[in-house]
């Protein structure tokens, strides 16, 4: 029986406007068959776009003559499950971001463009369990096969022909050989029968691990958040794997989120050795691979999904557990567009699914430590390293007034020699890539500046100047651009300069440099890491790329060349980030049976937070840092939001933010502080001037209320037309 009351469709359409759009059902369609989460093709302005049905309603505020019919329904069944759609709506409210944009980030690009929701009959090639366990060294005589194997190891979900074409020229012949060995299988993207979720046995857990695993296991089937706090090497990953296995035994899926840089081949191999059918999801996958992974998660065929930030939005048929590894990592927060925190959304999502959530870290964020102290999370600790040497002692090297050989102090050089002689590997950390961060004219003192940013240019070994903020490159000029003298000098150190100095000091020692420049080409990072494992390199120099995920069992000395960078940063989180980085890098020392040593060069050996960190450890540092935050009324003791604006003129962002402040002030009252507007510390970046307005409130609800009340007016401001503006709720960076 057809009812005569009209039905209106509330549709999410990707658009900068923070609302949904109403349509009438497509003509000749049974409106009763329309379900939330289906895609629709709708007219939008002069275009046709793909939208997602949020809900149907019996009324619409849009006057009848203006309402248009949707043109077509693209899905026969719900594509985005209701729980995920509800999470999207929650996130759109919380981050004050347009629902259409949020929903569209949920969909892989192929689905966003209207392609069919289930994969066509395509094939992927992927490693078998035997292939995953195979030693590449067995293929010495077959270098093509070995190289192909190295590629396949990175893609546990498999690669289709199109992606293979893009990654490996003439892959067909070596692939056939690998299949003959039984190391590779060719399978349809959509298996005909549900898999049996094969898994291998794990290691026997030690007492602390077993207790932690037991607590989490007992929570399966209900919501509970855990903070798994344990030094690098304490066996957190084994705890995750154990609990994930139990989750699978109960027929549920486990989702594991890792930082961008943490999704290393080593970790993938470990997960895949345990769960052969684990599926990987990250932004570097091809369109087809992303769709396949999305579909595997949604259909329940993927027992385990491991992915970076955006994987928090993967649909799951039978959600059972969410793990967030290295929960303190800044890459969980998206820094542009839809500025969500995948870690925070994971907490919300777990609560909505009524499943447990594990946040793991050796250096938990102050937010998570505070949540544990408030009993919102259960704090589980793994105090000891598992099956390895003790956590290394950290020592500060006071380099004030000391002679430095190109950034390296005498005690540091002595220690490097000592460890090399004892056949240990040495890791040197400097969070600055390039050769020298400053080029200055000796005649007039002018420094070479980026023309588009308020920043100095960094000199690289290839005599190119690079801006590390906007990417601009140009050759080093022969003369000073300011006074014309030919006396340009280079100041400060980057990884390239340290690498060169070491090569002169230690001519017979293999040196590897790991940073964004040395690993830009595909496969280069893997090749360098392989070389480190094989012992081709005794010294590693690198940026924060070294800090995460990688296992360097023979590293016995870690040298941190400049701890001062983070001590006086403009951001209120600078010291927290620095402490995390120091501890993460230090954690690379002495992972195998040999004990490690960590030396930290600093000009500020008396700095109280640095001292706490080195003498008493991260927990003590965190307690002191939290006390400072409380005294200053900063997060996690307050809720924060940041209104950004940028434009090609200096005046426009400030004018917009002044107007925004006037709109916000009445809604903020006395409970929500408005600070600014002020130009950003680096005001000009990539040719645009930037300014910001900070909102701070002791109670989050008041901040949210003020934003909800006042934001609609900002869209209507005439000053808004001259700027790009955005709101960042819980900003990870305040500059
Ligand atoms: P984390 O994730 O805390 O850094 P991992 O889980 O990676 O620690 O463990 C560090 C090392 O110790 C790994 O090589 C791992 O295989 C090993 N390991 C972990 N737990 C155990 C255990 N119970 N028995 C033996 N070795 C273990
Ligand atoms: Zn620049």
Ligand 1 and 158: CB distance under 6 A: no
Whether domain 639-729 has CATH 3.40.50.261: no
Residues paired with residue 459 on neighbouring β-strands, in sequence order: 436, 465
Which of residues 575 and 198 earns the better pLDDT score? 575
Greater confidence (521 vs 237) lies with 237
* The pLDDT value given to residue 166: 84
Sign of CA pseudo-dihedral 246, 248, 253, 259: positive
Give the pLDDT of residue 192.
40
Percentage of the chain beyond pLDDT 90 is: 66
- CA of residue 544 to ligand 2 center, whole Å: 21
**Nearest ligand to the C-alpha atom of residue 453:** 2
One CATH from 1.20.1050.10, 3.40.50.300, 3.30.420.40, 3.10.28.10 for 207-382: 3.40.50.300
pLDDT (0 to 100) of residue 2: 47
288 lines ligand 1 (CB under 6 A): no
**Residue 210 in contact with ligand 1 by CB distance below 6 A:** no
Q: How far is the CA of 579 from the centre of ligand 2 (A)?
A: 28
Ligand 1 centroid to 394 CA: how many Å? 22
Which three-class secondary structure state does DSSP give residue 682? strand
Ligand nearest to the CA of 473: 2
Helix (H) or strand (E) holding 393: strand 393-398
DSSP 192: S
> CA angle at residue 116 from 282 to 26, to 5 degrees?
125
- Residue 346: closest CA among 215, 226, 239: 226
Structure tokens at 132: 């995953």
- Model confidence over 147-188: pLDDT tens digits? 999 889 888 778 888 788 888 989 999 999 999 999 999 876
> Would the CB of 266 count as within 6 Å of ligand 1?
no
Q: Whose atoms come closest to the Cα of 549: which ligand?
A: 1
The structural architecture, per CATH, of the domain 8-112 is 3-Layer(aba) Sandwich (3.40)
Statement: residue 723 has pLDDT above 90: yes
238 lines ligand 1 (CB under 6 A): yes
At residue 4 the predicted structure's pLDDT band, cuts being 50, 70 and 90, is low
pLDDT bucket at 16, cuts 50 / 70 / 90: confident
- Whether 202 and 242 have beta carbons less than 8 Å apart is answered as yes
For residue range 18-57, what is the model confidence (pLDDT) as tens digits? 889 999 999 988 877 899 999 999 999 999 999 999 999 9
d(CA 386, CA 731): 35
Cβ of 232 below 6 Å from ligand 1? yes
Looking at residue 97, its pLDDT comes to 96
Ligand having the closest approach to the CA of 238:
1
How does pLDDT run across 307-326, given as a tens digit for each residue? 999 999 999 999 999 999 99
Q: How far apart are CA 490 and CA 501, in angstroms?
A: 14
Compute how many other C-beta atoms are within 10 angstroms of the C-beta atom of residue 24. 18
Q: Note the pLDDT of residue 118.
A: 63
Measured between alpha carbons, how far is 87 from 346 in angstroms, rounded to an integer? Answer: 10
Phi-psi region at 233: left, alpha or beta (left = phi > 0; alpha = psi -120 to 50): left
Q: Determine whether the shortest distance from the Cβ of 209 to ligand 1 is under 6 A.
A: yes
CA distances from 398 to 195, 417, 586, 670 (A): 59, 19, 18, 47
Span from the CA of 684 to the centroid of ligand 2 (angstroms): 9
CA distance 72 to 172: 41
Q: What is the pLDDT of residue 444?
A: 92
Q: Are 20 and 57 in contact (CB under 8 A)?
A: no
Q: What is the 3-state secondary structure (H, E, C) of 122-178?
A: CEEEEECHHHHHCCHHHHCCCHHHHHHHHHHHCCCCCEEHHHHHHHCCCCHHHHHHH
The arithmetic mean of pLDDT across residues 591-618, rounded, is 87
Residues 487 and 480 sit within 8 Å (Cβ to Cβ): yes
Residues 6 or more apart whose CB falls under 8 angstroms from that of 315 comprise 80, 81, 84, 294, 297, 298
Give the Å distances, CA to CA, from 35 to 13, 23, 158, 366: 16, 14, 33, 42
Phi, psi angles (nearest 5°) of residue 39: -95, 145
Higher pLDDT, 401 or 523: 401
Question: Of all protein residues, whose CA lies closest to atom 26 belonging to ligand 1?
Answer: 387
d(CA 403, CA 439): 22
Q: Check if 360 has its Cβ closer than 6 Å to any atom of ligand 1.
A: no
| Residues 225-267 pLDDT 10s | 999 999 888 899 999 999 999 999 998 999 999 998 777 778 8
pLDDT at 121 over 50: no
Q: Tally the residues of the chain.
A: 735
Which residues make beta-bridge pairs with 10? 22, 55
| Ligand that comes closest to the CA of residue 468 | 2
Atom 15 of ligand 1, residue of closest alpha carbon: 235
What pLDDT was estimated at residue 120?
Answer: 43
Q: Ligand 1 pocket check: which of 244, 324, 386, 593 to mutate, most ligand atoms within 8 Å of Cβ?
A: 386
Q: What is residue 727's three-state secondary structure?
A: strand
Mean pLDDT of the 462-471 span: 94
Residue identifier of the C-alpha nearest atom 22 of ligand 1 = 205
pLDDT exceeds 60 at position 191: no
Burial class of residue 429, CB neighbours in 10 A (0-12, 13-18, 19+): buried
The pLDDT of residue 485: 85
Question: Is the pLDDT score of 195 beyond 50?
Answer: no
Superfamily, domain 394-436+492-630 = P-loop containing nucleotide triphosphate hydrolases (3.40.50.300)
Task: Give the atom of ligand 1 at the shortest distance from the alpha carbon of 205.
Answer: 23
What would the mean pLDDT of 400-417 be, rounded to a whole number?
A: 93
φ, ψ (nearest 5 deg) of residue 468 = -80, 5
258 lines ligand 1 (CB under 6 A): no
Question: Distance between CA atoms of 475 and 465, rounded to whole angstroms?
Answer: 6
| pTM given for the model | 0.86
pLDDT at position 387 is 62
> Going by DSSP bridges, is the β-strand pair 356-361/319-325 parallel, antiparallel, or unpaired?
parallel
425 lines ligand 1 (CB under 6 A): no
Which amino acid residue places its CA nearest to atom 9 of ligand 1? 235
The residue nearest atom 11 of ligand 1, judged by CA position, is: 233
CB 128 near ligand 1, within 6 Å: no
Is the pLDDT at 194 greater than 70? The verdict is: no
What is the overall mean pLDDT for the chain? 90
- E-strand ranges in 527-671 read 539-542, 555-560, 597-602, 639-647
| 580-599: pLDDT as tens digits | 999 988 888 766 667 789 99
- Ligand 2 centre to CA of 461 (Å) is 19
The predicted pLDDT at position 119 comes to: 47
Distance CA 260, CA 578 (A): 19
Does ligand 1 have an atom closer than 6 angstroms to the CB of 267?
no
CA–CA separation, 686 and 722 (whole Å): 17
Residues in CB range of 706: below 8 A, 6 or more apart: 664, 667, 668, 669, 672, 695, 697
281 DSSP β-pair partners = 307
Q: Residue 172: CB partners within 8 Å, gap ≥ 6?
A: none
- Whether 234 is in the pocket of ligand 1, judged by its Cβ within 6 Å, is yes
User: What span, in angstroms and rounded, lies between the C-alpha atoms of 8 and 24?
Assistant: 5
Measure 83 CA to ligand 1 centroid, in angstroms: 35
Q: Whose CA is nearest to atom 5 of ligand 1?
A: 235
């Amino acid at each position: 029986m057809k009812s005569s009351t009209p039905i209106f469709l509330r549709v999410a359409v990707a658009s900068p406007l923070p609302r949904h759009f109403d349509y009438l059902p497509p003509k000749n369609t049974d409106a009763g068959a329309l379900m939330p989460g289906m895609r629709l093709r709708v007219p939008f302005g002069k275009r046709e776009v793909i939208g997602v049905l949020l809900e149907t309603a019996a009324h619409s505020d849009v006057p009848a003559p203006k309402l248009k019919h949707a043109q077509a329904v693209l899905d026969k069944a719900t594509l985005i499950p209701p729980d995920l759609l509800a999470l999207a709506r929650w996130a759109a409210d919380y981050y004050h971001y347009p629902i259409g944009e949020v929903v569209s980030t949920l969909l892989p690009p192929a689905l966003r463009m209207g392609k069919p929701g289930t994969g066509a009959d395509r094939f992927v090639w992927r490693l078998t369990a035997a292939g995953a366990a195979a030693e590449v060294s067995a293929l010495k005589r077959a270098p093509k096969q070995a190289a192909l194997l190295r590629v396949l190891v990175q893609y546990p979900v498999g690669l289709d022909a199109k992606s293979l074409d893009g990654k490996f020229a003439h892959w067909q012949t070596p692939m056939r050989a690998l299949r003959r060995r039984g190391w590779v299988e060719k399978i349809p993207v959509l298996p005909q029968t549900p898999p049996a979720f094969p898994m291998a046995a794990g290691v026997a857990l030690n007492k602390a691990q077993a207790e932690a695993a037991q607590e989490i296991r007992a929570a399966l089937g209900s919501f509970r958040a855990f903070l798994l706090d344990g030094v690098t090497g304490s066996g957190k990953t084994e705890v995750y794997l154990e609990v994930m296995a139990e989750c699978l035994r109960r027929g549920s899926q486990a989702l594991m989120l890792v930082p961008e840089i943490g999704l290393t081949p080593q970790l993938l191999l470990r997960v895949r050795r345990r769960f052969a059918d684990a599926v990987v999801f990250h932004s570097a996958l091809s369109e087809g691979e992303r769709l396949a992974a999305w579909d595997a998660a949604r259909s329940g065929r993927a027992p385990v999904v491991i992915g970076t930030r955006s994987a928090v939005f993967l649909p799951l048929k039978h959600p059972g557990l969410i793990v967030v590894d290295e929960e303190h990592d800044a890459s969980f927060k998206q820094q542009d567009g839809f500025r969500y925190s995948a870690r925070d959304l994971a907490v919300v999502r777990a609560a909505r699914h009524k499943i447990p959530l594990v946040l793991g870290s050796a250096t938990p964020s102050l937010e998570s430590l505070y949540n544990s102290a408030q009993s919102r999370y259960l704090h589980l600790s793994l105090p000891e390293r598992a099956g390895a040497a003790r956590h290394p002692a950290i020592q500060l090297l006071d380099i004030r007034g000391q002679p430095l050989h190109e950034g390296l102090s005498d005690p540091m050089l002595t220690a490097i020699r000592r460890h090399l002689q004892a056949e240990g590997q040495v890791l040197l950390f400097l969070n600055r890539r390039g050769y020298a961060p400053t080029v200055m004219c000796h005649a007039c003192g002018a420094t070479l500046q980026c023309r588009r940013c308020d920043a100095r240019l960094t000199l690289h070994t290839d005599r190119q100047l690079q801006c590390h903020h906007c990417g601009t490159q140009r050759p080093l000029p022969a003369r000073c651009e300011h006074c014309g003298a030919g006396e340009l000098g280079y100041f400060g150190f980057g990884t390239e300069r340290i690498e060169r100095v070491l090569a002169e000091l230690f001519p017979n020692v293999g040196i590897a440099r790991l940073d964004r420049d040395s690993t830009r080409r595909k496969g280069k990072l893997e090749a360098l890491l392989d070389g480190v494992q094989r012992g081709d390199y005794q010294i590693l120099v690198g940026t924060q790329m070294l800090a995460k995920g990688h296992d360097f069992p023979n590293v016995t000395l870690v040298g941190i060349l400049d701890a001062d960078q983070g001590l006086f940063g403009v951001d209120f989180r600078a010291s927290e980030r620095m402490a995390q980085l120091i501890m993460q890098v230090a954690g690379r020392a002495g992972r195998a049976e040999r004990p490690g040593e960590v030396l930290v060069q600093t000009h500020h050996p008396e700095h109280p937070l640095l001292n706490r960190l080195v003498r008493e450890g991260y927990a003590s540092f965190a307690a002191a840092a939290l006390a400072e935050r409380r005294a200053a009324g900063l997060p996690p003791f307050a809720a924060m939001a940041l209104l950004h604006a940028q434009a090609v003129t200096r005046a426009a962002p400030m004018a917009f933010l002044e107007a925004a402040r006037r709109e916000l002030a009445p809604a903020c009252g006395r409970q929500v502080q408005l600070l600014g507007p002020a130009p950003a510390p680096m005001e000009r970046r990539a040719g645009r001037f930037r300014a910001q307005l900070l909102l701070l409130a002791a109670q989050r609800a008041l901040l949210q209320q003020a934003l909800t009340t006042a934001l609609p007016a900002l869209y209507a401001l005439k000053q808004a037309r001259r700027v790009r503006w955005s709101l960042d709720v819980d900003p990870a960076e305040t500059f």
